A and B are shown apart, each in its own frame.
Chain A
Amino acid sequence: MTRLLQHLAPAVLLAFVALVTATPLMANGGTVRISRAPVGLYLVSVFTSPTPLRTGEVDVSVLVQDAEQERILDVPIIVEAHPLDTEAAAVTHEATRQQATNKLFKAAKFDVLAEGEWEFSITVGGEEGGTVSFQATLTDPTLLDRPYLLAALVLIPLALLGWLLLGRDDEKDEASTRQSRIAATT
């Protein structure tokens, strides 16, 4: 059983590394786009990530507070992204707590596939709310944006593979040494 586990260990470890590195590198926080903007009866703050914004999955996180900034409010939030200089389709998503890392926020995570200028509009609340917007430039991502991701994706699995699969085990080493000693004495 132990031997089976030892053989499975590299596969389990590699699967784990692959799984975690494949997870989108997103979280709330990031760049402040709008800070405490009055929208109807509310104050709205908006963060985007990743920093800088790249095509692919984008996270727009919205915090809605009362005018005194003492209470965090649970109101419906819709995020829309419109391209300003391309033919790409506009994207509309509802922001929810489930998508947010910081659970005081509501977040919308969606794919923006075309690079260029985009306008993001955030519609907050019903009749007591309103809409606020900002513009951002999206560029295509490169692996150099996260060099350690590249290292993690390539070097760690390779190093582990080399070590765990090709490395000789101590027990085997000692067993062979013992055998050669016995052979030498007999």
Chain B
Amino acid sequence: MGDLRAFLLSWQFETEVVVGLALSAFLYARGWRRLRKRGRGGRILRRWRAWCFAAGLTAVGVALLSPVATFGSLLMSMHMIQHLLLIMIAAPLLLLGAPMLPMLWAFPRGGRRRLGRLLHPSNPVHRVFHFLTRPGIALPVFILVVVIWHYPPLYDAAQGRTITHDLEHFCFLAAALLYYWPLIHPTGSPRRMSYGAGILYLFPSKLTGFVIGASLSMAQTPWYQTYINAPRLWGLSALDDQQLAGLIMWIFGGLLYIFPLLLLVVMMIREDEGDVWVPEVVRQRQAAASRGEIEAA
């Protein structure tokens, strides 16, 4: 068996990942179909959003089940690709899929109401989530998670098939979802950050990736015991592999930031030209405010 063929065939089966992905896809599809059938969901329920959600789930699957995951324990460069897939591709795509509404509608009326209560602004669950998705909270949490998990003792502790490895991936995905939330605001609620502020919001995390990536690629010794101990594949030394991982984080991570940046610039220009969709809630509030002004006048 050739090495390339062996690599491509090295998929793994993670029960909790497969169950999670299958359930998420099932709930989204069921709710989406229901809403479409009833003509509800409006602007949120576009076909492209369903495709984004499917692509996000696929990215999670590729990151956690494909040869990228299998070789992550042997090559740091593969582990870096796995993290980039989770953080920079899966998380924004899942949020662009606006999954809350379709997933809520997957449930029968009683269950939907009970879950809906959790999302009411007076509910503590909603308040905690609202707090965590504040730009001033989500950004430092995301940076902290990325920095902490690259600290060698923690990184090494997360390798192997232990609960810490699953925890590492969960932290990355959860922190990335929180981080992208105020940028994408997938619920259709009023934006919590202008497009211009969004551009600034991207910068610190980009800088963090740049610093960690550059440090890894310029280091003179390998940082992580896991890869020092691992068998070397294809003549790649532990240091070569680490430098490659650093370059992937530095260069590809940087390139992946260009897409949201460009998108925000385009949205900012369109907003200036008055060509941006305003959520129904915001329109109603604006209308109420202008009525109030007229009455006051």
Contact = CB atoms under 8 A, between A and B. Distances in A.
A13 B19 contact: no
B234 to A, nearest CB: 7
Contacts of A20: 13, 15, 18-19
Contact of B16 (A101, A102, A149, A163): A149
Contacts of A163: 107-108, 111
B8 to A, nearest CB: 8
A23 B12 CA distance: 12
Interface string A126-161: 000000000000000000001011001000100000
Interface residues of B, number: 40
B237 to A, nearest CB: 9
Interface stretch (A24-32, A75-83, A116-124, A178-186): A24-32
Given A23-B15, A50-B161, A152-B19, A28 B70 contact: yes
B231 A63 contact: yes
Given A13-B26, A103-B6, A168-B109, 8 more contacts: A17-B19, A51-B161, A65-B231, A148-B166, A152-B19, A156-B23, A169-B108, A170-B109
A63 B162 CA distance: 21
A86 interface: no
B110 A156 contact: no
Contact of B160 (A21, A51, A104, A167): A51
A93 interface: no
B232 interface: yes
Contacts of A87: none
B3 A72 contact: yes
A44 B5 CA distance: 21
10 contacts: A25-B15, A27-B12, A27-B13, A31-B160, A35-B230, A63-B231, A69-B233, A74-B1, A103-B5, A168-B110
B71 interface: yes
B10 interface: yes
Identify which of A45, A170, A173 gathers the most chain B CB atoms within 10 Å of its CB. Answer: A170
B15 A21 contact: yes
A36 B232 contact: yes
Contacts of B15: 20-21, 23, 25, 149, 152
B22 interface: yes
The 9 closest A-B pairs by CB, nearest first: A167-B108, A103-B6, A45-B231, A29-B73, A70-B235, A69-B232, A27-B12, A51-B160, A51-B161
Interface in B149-167: 160-163, 166
A23 B109 contact: no
B34 interface: yes
B122 interface: no
A25 B15 CA distance: 7
Nearest to A36: B231
Interface in A85-114: 97, 101-104
Nearest to A21: B15
Contacts of A170: 34, 108-109
Contacts of B23: 156
A60 interface: no
Nearest to A28: B70
B9 interface: yes
B9 A69 contact: no
A16 B70 contact: no
Contacts of A16: 22
Contacts of B73: 29-30, 47
A78 to B, nearest CB: 20
A42 to B, nearest CB: 11
B234 A51 contact: no
B7 interface: yes
Given A69-B235, A149-B15, A27 B109 contact: no
B161 A29 contact: yes
A183 to B, nearest CB: 20
A134 to B, nearest CB: 14
B284 to A, nearest CB: 26
Contact of B108 (A25, A74, A152, A168): A168
